[in-house]
Structure 1
Amino acid sequence: MQTDISLKTLTTFGIAQQARYYTAVSNLSELLEALDFARQRQMPYFLLGGGSNILFTRDFPGLIIHMAIGGIQAQPEAEGQVLVRAGAGENWHQFVCWCLERGYYGLENLSLIPGTVGASPMQNIGAYGVEVKDHFAYLEALEVHTGEVHRFDAEACAFGYRESVFKKALKGRYIILEVAFQLHTQPKLRMDYGDIAATVEQLAAGAPPSPELVAQAVIQIRQSKLPDPAQIGNAGSFFKNPIVPEEQYHRLALRHPNMPHYPAAGGIKIPAGWLIEQAGFKGLTKGQVGVHARQALVLVNYGDARGEEVLALSEEIMQVVQERFGILLEREVNIL
C-alpha cells in the first residue's frame, strides 16, 4: 500500500492530482484485501485500469485500486470457433494483437483502443463497425457487498451504445475480473465503415484483404486522427456520438444538408466531432487545455492543465452545441 501517490502518470490525461492511498492487485485475494482496507477505514475507493477514460478534477481522498489481474487462455471449440478468456488487467490493444498472432479473429477493428480488457464490456467499446458485444461470451465479476463471483452473459450485461448494466443499474456493485470472447479461426472481415476498405486496399498492394491488414488499417487511421497520450494528454473521444429521433434529424438536415449521419438503434447517429467543429471549437486553445486540431472529439492537456479546466471546456462545448443544434452532448469520459 502506497500513500500520497501522483495520478499524473497513471492516467492518459496526465492531470497532476494525487490519491491518498494506492495499490495494484494481480489476483482476487489481493483485490479482496484492498477492498477490506478501504472498508475498515470507511474511505471511498476507485478501480483504475488503463487510466484512459477518466478525468480527475480533484485529489482522491481514498484508495485507488489499480487492476492488474492478467492472463490469457484460449479454448478451441467446434466449427472454427474459439473461446478466449483474458484477465481484466490485460492491456486491450496487446490482447487484440495476441489474438491476431494466433489466428483468432473478430476484434481486429478494435485495434489500438486504449484501456484494459476489463473496461471493454463496461462501456461496450466499439470502432469501425464493431463493438465488444458482437464477440462477447461472458464475464466474471466480484459482487463487492457479498464477496461472491458471478458470471454475466451478454443479455445480463444489457449492452447499449457505449453502455452496459455496469455503468448504470449495477454501477459500483461489481468489479469485473475476467472477460471471455467468442472468436473465429476463419476471417469475417468488416471493412464497410469509414476509410477501412480504402486503407486496406492501399496497404495490401494487390494482396487479398486479411484481418491483419484490417488491424493495420485501423491503427494507421487512428494514429492519423488521434493524438498519442504519451505525447499530449488526452482521453480519446471525450463525448459520445448523439443519437437523435428521426424527426429531429430531418429538421436539422433542412438547415445543415451536409451533416453526416448514420442509422442507429433508436434514431439517427450524428458525429459529435462534426457538431463540435461546426460550433467553432476544433483547434481551439485556452491556456493549457484545448480541442485537438485534427479531431474535435478529443480534448487535450497541453502540459500542466488542471482537471477543472478540462471540465469547464467540456461544459462550454456542451452549452454551445445545445444552443446551436438542440442536442445535449453526453460525456464518454468519467469525471471524478
Structure 2
Amino acid sequence: MNIQENISLKQFNTFGIDKKARFFTAVQSVSDLKIALTWAKEKHINTLILGGGSNILLTQDQEALVIKNEITGIELVKEDEKYYWVEVGAGVVWHDFVLTAIQNEWAGVENLSLIPGTVGASPMQNIGAYGVEIKDVFHSLTALRKSDLELQEFDAKSCAFGYRESVFKHELKDKYVICSVIFRLNKVAAYHTDYGAIKATLAQNGIEHLNLKSISDAVIQIRQSKLPDPKEIGNAGSFFKNPSIPASQYESLKADYPEIPGYPNDEGVKVPAAWLIEQCGWKGKRLGEIGVHSKQPLVLVNYGAGDGNEIKKLAEKIQKSVLEKFQIEIHPEVNFL
C-alpha cells in the first residue's frame, strides 16, 4: 500500500480548495481498504473516505489518512422478466455508470445523467434530479464496518432514505465505507419528462420517439446550460437543499410574494432554494475569489484562489438573509470538513 504524506487535496475536490491531507492513499479493492483502515487504526489516526470530492467543502487541513475509494466494476448479477440487478463498485464515476446503463438499455437512471461524484456517494446522499432519486432504483449496498472490518449488507429500509439524506449521514456517519451498490433497473422504461425543462428540451431537439439516450441528452443539455463545469470553475453543484414548509406558511408568503413557486409534498410545500436566494439579491454576487453563480444561485463558486472558510461564511450569510426575509431555514447539501 502506497501511503503518501502531506498531499494537497486540491485536485481531489471539485471546489478546488487547496487543503492538505496528513496521509493519503487510494484503494482499488475491499482488501486494499482493510489494509488502509488497519494501518490507520494501528497508528491511532482518523480516516476520511473520498469519492469524487463533489459534495464536500474543505475548511481545514485533514489530520487523517484520506482514503480515495477507487473500487470499480459494473456487473449484471441477476435479471427476471421485469428487472436487471446491476452491482457497481463504489469508486465508479456516477455518470460513467449512467452511460453504461443507457448503452445496455437498463432503464431508471437516465434522469440522473451528469450528476458529479461516484457511485458510493449516491445512496449516502440519496442523490436526485428531474423527478428521480436513488431510492427509486436502489436494491442494496455492501459496506465495510470500520470497527471490525466486517462487510454488511443494507437494504433500502435500513438506509433510511430521505431528501438528500440517509442513515450514513446521521447515525452511521463515519462508521462504514460503502464498497458496492446494487441497483434494480427496469427492462421497460417509464420515462420521466414532466420535471424541469425536459419536455421543452426534447421538443427543441426534435425528439418524437423517446428513448433512454434522448432523455439523458436532454438532461445533460439542461445541466450544462445552468451549472458551471467544475473543471472550469470550482463548485460542488447545488449547495443548499430545497426547504419544505407548512402549507399555511406557504399561503401566507404567497400573499406577499404571489410569484413564489411551490410544490406540494408530504411535509407541506417544497420551495426552490434558488428562488429564495435570488430574491435576497445573491445571484451573480462576487466577493473576491468566491461568489454565487450568475446563472444558478444555488451554486456557490470558487474562482480560483478561494478558501473553504470564505465559502462557509458566504453560505452562512445567505442562510441568514433568507431566514430574515422569508422566515425559512435553508440547509447545506454539501458536507463541511
**Structure 1 match to 2:48:** 46
d(CA) in 1 for partners of 2:37, 2:154: 22
Q: State the Cα distance separating 1:43 from its structure 2 match.
A: 1.7
Q: State the Cα distance separating 1:248 from its structure 2 match.
A: 1.4
Q: State the Cα distance separating 1:40 from its structure 2 match.
A: 1.5
d(CA) in 2 for partners of 1:185, 1:206: 21
Q: State the Cα distance separating 1:265 from its structure 2 match.
A: 2.1
Preserved contact between residue 94 and residue 119 of structure 2 (Cα < 8 Å): yes
d(CA) in 1 for partners of 2:138, 2:335: 23
**Structure 1 match to 2:111:** 109
**Structure 1 match to 2:15:** 13
Post-superposition CA distance 1:40-77 (Å, at most 9, x none): 22122110000000010111111110000000101342
**Structure 2 match to 1:124:** 126
d(CA) in 2 for partners of 1:87, 1:206: 33
What are the equivalent positions in structure 2 for 1:284-303 lying under 5 Å apart? Answer: 284-303=285-304
Preserved contact between residue 207 and residue 214 of structure 2 (Cα < 8 Å): no
d(CA) in 1 for partners of 2:221, 2:36: 40
**Structure 1 match to 2:250:** 249
SS in 1 for 2:294: coil
Given the alignment, which residue of 128, 151, 154 partners 2:153? 151
Given the alignment, which residue of 168, 171, 181 partners 1:169? 171
Distance 1:36 1:76, change over 3 A: closer
SS in 2 for 1:105: coil
d(CA) in 2 for partners of 1:271, 1:123: 18
d(CA) in 1 for partners of 2:266, 2:212: 27
d(CA) in 1 for partners of 2:185, 2:244: 29
**Structure 2 match to 1:265:** 266
What are the equivalent positions in structure 2 for 1:68-217 lying under 5 Å apart? Answer: 68-203=70-205, 205-217=206-218
Superposition TM-score, scaled by structure 2 size: 0.98
Preserved contact between residue 20 and residue 62 of structure 2 (Cα < 8 Å): yes
Q: State the Cα distance separating 1:78 from its structure 2 match.
A: 1.7
Number of equivalences: 335
Structure 1 residue ranges (4+ consecutive) displaced by more than 6 angstroms after TM superposition: none
Preserved contact between residue 108 and residue 212 of structure 1 (Cα < 8 Å): yes
Post-superposition CA distance 1:143-172 (Å, at most 9, x none): 111211111111111111000111111111
Q: Unaligned stretches of 5+ in structure 1? A: none
Q: State the Cα distance separating 1:185 from its structure 2 match.
A: 2.0
d(CA) in 2 for partners of 1:281, 1:44: 37
260-269 or 91-100: bigger deviation: 260-269
d(CA) in 2 for partners of 1:80, 1:305: 49
Q: Unaligned stretches of 5+ in structure 2? A: none
Q: State the Cα distance separating 1:36 from its structure 2 match.
A: 1.3
Preserved contact between residue 88 and residue 178 of structure 1 (Cα < 8 Å): yes
Letter in 2 for 1:280: G
d(CA) in 2 for partners of 1:113, 1:265: 25
Post-superposition CA distance 1:224-269 (Å, at most 9, x none): 0000000000000000000111111111111111011112221111
Q: State the Cα distance separating 1:206 from its structure 2 match.
A: 5.0
Preserved contact between residue 201 and residue 209 of structure 1 (Cα < 8 Å): no
SS in 2 for 1:236: coil
Preserved contact between residue 85 and residue 183 of structure 2 (Cα < 8 Å): yes
**Structure 2 match to 1:56:** 58
d(CA) in 2 for partners of 1:26, 1:190: 35
Letter in 1 for 2:304: G
Q: CA RMSD in A?
A: 0.9
d(CA) in 2 for partners of 1:110, 1:255: 35
Letter in 2 for 1:317: I
Answer yes or no: is 1:219 the counterpart of 2:188. Answer: no
Letter in 1 for 2:155: D
d(CA) in 1 for partners of 2:207, 2:141: 40
Letter in 1 for 2:173: K
d(CA) in 2 for partners of 1:58, 1:75: 41
**Structure 2 match to 1:325:** 326
316-325 or 30-39: bigger deviation: 30-39
Aligned-residue identity in percent: 52
**Structure 2 match to 1:238:** 239
Letter in 1 for 2:305: D
